[in-house]
């Protein structure tokens, strides 16, 4: 008899964890498992990649409106005779604008989320935070697993609230050994219940998708730099803009392209404008297939403040691109400095210097690419580690 699995994720927007989930769903043996995927919002760049065997569930209109713009939301609930929900939406807006305290915010969201019917063999919260709270509070399952895709140091302000939920799960899975160690450090209740579950990377799929044509606008004969990631504080693309300005000032003919969207896009565009880099630092928005751009770039650069384990770096490794990346804690799980990439300090000056050194030394770039071409990057066999957790 097939086992029933439930995955929970807020949406399938253009993030590394979301891409990792879709890749995992593509590898599951559907002869052995019936799979439901519950999305708070059934939307995002990767929705078309959900396998046909997966049954997709979502929260429905009430949650979408509650978590949307405040004025349409309040009108929506008043017109449907739900003044209490309209009042909760107003209180939620005030709380969310002043605080990240999930102990105050979650009860308001939870109230408009459905309780799922039936009992699953295993329920899997694929993102830390609300997905985990939902699995504990709204799902009946014989076994509950939560994923952690981030270095917990950077969300430690939620520790007291998260502890209530981690005490109620059977297992926590994290994408890097460093993140596993941090989880046990912050939550003694998880000791002995943390498992390393790397993101599954499919090199054959990435290389196949990379064969399509990439059109970098106005690249000319410039050195092409590329970054893929959400435009959020975590990715620190403000550093990339400053590094680009330094390279340009020093006479390097570079075009730095960014694939991704996010809350900081307006601020980053203003920064680019103020530095006169409109034709040097270029936003490409969301791309359903970023791999042709990766294949066509000269250097892949990532300026993150922190990561769990970066899928974009693994993808650049699959395509054997010279990589320059900042020295966040978990980067050493993926890059050996000077061997298969370059690890730099986080300041724009250091980032610019390391990129300039690679531009000036084509043989070094070739050596980094040759090393990556020899490495085994794919890990499709890790699906067995996932089955073992079930």
The pLDDT of residue 308 = 85
- Taking Cα atoms as reference points, which of 366, 369, 341 lies closest to residue 355? 341
**Is 204-374 the same fold as 3-202+382-389?**
yes
pLDDT tens digit sequence for 114-132: 999 999 999 999 999 999 9
- CATH domain 3-202+382-389 topology: Rossmann fold (3.40.50)
**What pLDDT score does 359 carry?**
98
Binning pLDDT at 50, 70 and 90, where does residue 243 land? very high
Residue 100 has pLDDT above 80, yes or no: no
**What are the domain boundaries of the chain?**
3-202+382-389, 204-374
Give the per-residue pLDDT at 151. 87
User: What pLDDT, in 10s, does the model give residues 255-299?
Assistant: 999 999 999 999 999 999 999 999 999 999 988 889 999 999 999
Per-residue confidence (pLDDT) for residue 332, from 0 to 100: 93
The string of pLDDT tens digits covering residues 213-226 is 877 877 778 999 99
- β-sheet with 299-302: strand ranges across: 281-285, 254-259, 223-228, 299-302, 323-326, 342-344
Mean pLDDT across the stretch 319-342? 95
Retrieve residue 179's tokens.
């993140």
Q: If you average pLDDT over residues 232-236, what whole number do you get? A: 94
Residue 235 pLDDT greater than 90, yes or no:
yes
Q: Can you tell me the mean pLDDT for 46-60?
A: 92
Q: What is the pLDDT of residue 57?
A: 95
For the domain 204-374, what is the CATH code? 3.40.50.2000
What is the predicted pLDDT for the residue at 309? 86
List, as one string, the DSSP characters of 267-327.
HHHHHHHHTT-TTTEEEEE--S--HHHHHH-SEEEE--S--SS-HHHHHHHHTT--EEEE-
What Å distances lie between residue 60 and 107, 137, 139, 354, CA to CA?
A: 18, 18, 16, 49
Residue closest to 136 by CA, chosen among 156, 153, 113: 113
Nearest to 130 by CA among 90, 154, 103: 103
Q: What is the dihedral of CA 18, 301, 317, 232, to 10 degrees?
A: -10
Q: Find, among 285, 272, 327, the residue nearest to 304 by Cα.
A: 327
């Amino acid at each position: 008899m097939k086992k029933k699995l439930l995955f929970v994720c807020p949406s399938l927007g253009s993030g590394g964890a979301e891409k990792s989930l879709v890749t995992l769903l593509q590898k599951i043996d559907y002869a052995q498992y019936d799979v439901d995927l519950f999305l708070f919002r059934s939307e995002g760049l990767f929705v078309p990649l959900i396998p046909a065997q997966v049954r997709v569930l979502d929260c429905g209109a009430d949650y979408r409106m509650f978590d949307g713009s405040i004025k349409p939301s309040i009108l929506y609930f008043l017109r449907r005779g739900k003044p209490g929900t309209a009042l909760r939406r107003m209180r939620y807006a005030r709380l969310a604008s002043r605080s990240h305290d999930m102990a105050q915010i979650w009860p308001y969201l939870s109230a408009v989320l459905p309780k799922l019917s039936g009992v699953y063999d295993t329920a899997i919260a694929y993102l830390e935070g609300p997905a985990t709270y939902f699995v504990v509070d709204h799902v009946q399952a014989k076994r509950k697993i939560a994923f952690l895709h981030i270095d917990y140091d950077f969300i430690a302000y939620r520790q007291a609230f998260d502890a209530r939920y981690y005490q109620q799960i059977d297992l926590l899975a994290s994408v890097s050994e460093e993140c596993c160690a941090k989880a046990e450090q912050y939550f003694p209740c998880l000791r002995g219940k943390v498992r390393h579950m790397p993101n599954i990377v499919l090199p054959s799929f990435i290389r196949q998708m990379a064969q399509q044509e990439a059109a970098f606008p106005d690249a000319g004969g410039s050195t092409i730099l590329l970054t893929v990631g959400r435009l959020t504080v975590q990715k620190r693309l403000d550093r990339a803009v400053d590094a680009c300005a330094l390279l340009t000032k020093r006479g390097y003919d570079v075009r730095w392209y960014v694939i991704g969207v996010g809350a900081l896009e307006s601020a980053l565009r203003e920064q680019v404008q103020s530095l006169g880099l409109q034709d040097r630092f270029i936003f490409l928005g969301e791309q359903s297939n970023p791999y042709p751009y990766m294949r066509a770039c000269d250097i892949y650069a990532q300026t993150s403040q922190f990561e769990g384990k970066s899928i974009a770096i693994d993808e650049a490794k699959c395509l054997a691109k010279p990589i320059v990346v900042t020295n966040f804690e978990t980067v050493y799980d993926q890059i050996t400095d000077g061997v298969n990439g370059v690890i730099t300090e986080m300041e724009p000056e250091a980032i610019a210097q390391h990129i300039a050194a690679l531009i000036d030394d084509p043989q070094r770039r070739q050596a980094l690419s040759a090393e990556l071409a020899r490495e085994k990057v794919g890990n499709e066999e890790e699906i067995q580690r996932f089955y073992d957790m079930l």
